[in-house]
Structure 1
Amino acid sequence: MKIDFEGKTVLVTGAAGGIGGEIVRQLVAANASVVAAGRERAGLDAIVAETGCRAVEFDLTSEEEIAEAIADLDLWGVVNCGGFGGEIATPMETNIDVFDKVMAINARGTLLVTKYASRTMIRLGQGGSIVNVSSQASLVALANHISYGSSKAAVDNITRVSALELGQYNIRVNSVHPTVVMTEMSEFYWGRPEIGGPFLEQMPLGRWATQAEVAAPVVFLLSDAASMISGAHLPIDGGYTCR
């Protein structure tokens, strides 16, 4: 199946990160006009140089910056990939300041981008598609993930309600739920044998996901190949959540 976005404009937040960057690459390869978003331009320079995409900067916690950055973009699609991992902590140990920051970036940031991007999409009247990058941590309870899992559960509800409200404008909204992608950031926790070993034993495919394996379903859900799919939550977890 060949996906061709025919030059449609797609905003990707968190584009300076590993998964976000791979989503940009795959969208550009599928003939999308990509706008890569991040908090600072310096972090976006590499993906801009590699792919030729455009770039915008805004802080996901700032409604003013998001509104201003998106106002002049004629968007057809959005990938909400920007996020913050927060802390490894139980409910008994969590730092509420960290919890608030995780919620502000992951949940509130996703809602703010959806708020202003959907206004533009409605104004253009061409329909469109939004994909939110959630997590398996919103589908099942993961130890020490109270902040991150809670924020992604909020993203899931934002996805469902947005799909309900935006369907009348032919705008679809879906989410993907990746398992661990073993980046340098993930390695410090999931790379521990006592943590990662038992986790992989419960996963039918028995391995970590790659960035490309997360990006490909995002591109599919964004595209017209998924034209009758909205409000869906797609696990990309090697079967972990089916247990």
Structure 2
Amino acid sequence: MTTRVALVTGAAQGIGQAIALRLAKDGLDVAVDDIASKATELDLLVKQIQGLGRRAIALTEDVTQEHGVKRMVEQTVTALGSLDVMVANAGVGTRKIVTIAETDISDWDALLAVNLRGVVMCYKYAAQQMIKQGTGGRIIGASSICGLKGYANLGSYCVSKAAVRSLTQSSALELKEYNIQVNAYAPGIINTALTRDDLHDEELGGPTSNSKRIMRIPDAKTGHVNDVASLVSYLASPEAHFITGQTMAVDDAQSL
């Protein structure tokens, strides 16, 4: 049986790193991408994946640049033979907690460039490659509980993640005739660099405490990166052939 190939963006740390390692453990060869400043971390990740007996390559393309995303897909196919699973995980958060009346549109533009534009282009070029291959595939995007409901003072982030949910639904309808399933994962409070604030967390009582305060869910349970990776593993698996267009929460009911 031909080995499937996955491409994971934002893979140098956190959720992306956990997803890449989990897919390698599942038997996939994996291309990992992140920004150029994360090259050292990517090289270490490649060695970990190779240690699991899988092939891997490191890429340093910027997902906000269309030519970079196109090249990222092409390099994956050239080096590993195909693209069967695209995980558009790359994303950024915001440290600016402001109301819509106070917002700086340039901050919105910068956040949407990664969280939405980057995901759109990953979906686009993955879809083109999978259609060309003619063997189906899985496209999986990063949403958030902030994409399932709004949170005060986090408008730009909520909008970016809600847009991924909508994009996932539209893409699933467009691509199902090619046997390409498109889904997204919506993490709650997960212990990563994105949710930690070393200064304020210490004051408030532990990792992710400041994120919980900002979102006004102080008693929320903190999840782990492997909780998300397990869901992505399932969505990428043959067993998930009947699931498409869904944005699945991994949040201990925080979005309810």
Q: Report if TM-score (shorter chain) is over 0.5.
A: yes
Change over 3 Å in CA distance of 1:116–1:237 after alignment to 2: same
**Partner of 2:117: helix, strand, or coil?**
helix
Say whether residues 1:77 and 2:91 are aligned partners: no
CA distance in 1, matches of 2:181, 2:72: 22
How far 1:209 moved relative to its partner?
0.9
Q: 1:172 to 1:193 in 2, by over 3 A?
A: closer
Provide the identity percentage.
32
Of residues 82, 85, 100 in structure 1, which corresponds to 2:109? Answer: 100
Q: Which moved more, 1:48-57 or 1:75-84?
A: 48-57
SS at match of 2:195: helix
RMSD of equivalent CA atoms: 2.0
1:62 maps to what in 2? 65
The match for 2:203 is none
Distance 1:197 1:64 in 2: 36
Which of 51, 62, 70 pairs up with 2:49? 51
Query: Which ranges of structure 1 fall in alignment gaps of 5 or more residues?
Result: none
String of CA shifts for 1:90-129, please: whole Å, max 9, x gaps: 2122221111011111101001011111111111101011
Give the direction of change, closer, same or farther, for the CA distance of 1:9–1:240 in structure 2 (3 Å limit).
Answer: same
Matched, 1:232 2:241: no
| 1:110 aligned to which of 114, 119, 124 | 119
Which of these residues, 111, 131, 136, is aligned with residue 122 of structure 1? 131
1:15 equivalent to 2:8? Answer no
Moved more, 66-75 or 153-162: 66-75
Distance apart, 1:166 and its partner CA: 0.5
Q: Deviations over 1:123-145 (max 9, x none)?
A: 11010111111100011111221
Q: Does 1:177 align with 2:175?
A: no
Following superposition, the deviation at residue 241 of structure 1 comes to: 2.0
> Which of 148, 153, 158 is the aligned partner of 2:167?
158
SS at match of 2:223: coil
Structure 1 position 220, deviation (Å): 0.5
Q: Which residue of 1 aligns with 2:29?
A: 33
Contact 1:182 1:209 in 2 (8 A): yes
- Count of matched residue pairs: 234
**Range with greater deviation from structure 2 (178-187 or 26-35):** 178-187
1:195 matched to 2:213: yes
Q: Give the direction of change, closer, same or farther, for the CA distance of 1:194–1:170 in structure 2 (3 Å limit).
A: closer
DSSP 3-state at the match of 2:184: strand
Give the structure-1-normalised TM-score.
0.90
Alignment partner, residue 24 of structure 1: 20
TM-score of the two chains, using structure 2 as the length reference? 0.86
1:152-211 Cα deviation digits (max 9, x unpaired): 11111110111011101000000111001123442226423981795143xxxx411100
Amino acid aligned to 2:47: A
Q: Distance in 1 between matches of 2:182 and 2:212?
A: 37
Structure 1 stretches of 4+ moved >3 Å: none
Question: CA–CA distance in 2 between the matches of 1:194 and 1:31?
Answer: 36
Answer whether contact 1:133 1:175 (CA < 8 A) is retained: yes
CA distance in structure 2 between the partners assigned to 1:137 and 1:218 by the alignment: 18
The change in CA–CA distance for 1:142 and 1:31 in structure 2 (over 3 A counts) is same
Letter in 2 for 1:106: N
Query: Secondary structure of 1:192's match?
Result: helix
Q: CA deviation at 1:63?
A: 0.4
Letter in 2 for 1:192: N
What is the aligned partner in structure 2 of residue 209 from structure 1?
223
